[in-house]
Amino acid sequence: MTPEEYKTLYPQDSVYIQVDDTERLMTDEEYEAWVAEGVYNSNHPLP
Partner 1 sequence: MNAVGLWLVKTQTVGTAVSSVAVTGAFSSTYNNYIITWVDGTLSANASMTLTLGASATGYYQFLNYGAVTAATPLGAGRNNAVSWAWVGGGTAGQAGHVRCELFGPNLARYTKLIGGPYQNDNAYGTTVGEHRVATAYTAFTLAPDSGTMTGGTIRVYGYKNGIS
Under the rule (CB under 8 A), what is the footprint of partner 1? 10, 14-21, 23, 26, 34, 37-38, 41-42, 45-47
- CB of residue 12 to partner 1, shortest distance in Å: 11
Q: What is the dihedral of CA 8, 37, 41, 2, to 10 degrees?
A: 40
- CB of residue 24 to partner 1, shortest distance in Å: 10
Closer CB to partner 1, residue 20 or residue 29?
Answer: 20
Whether 31 contacts 15, CB under 8 Å: yes
Question: Helix, strand, or coil here: 24?
Answer: strand
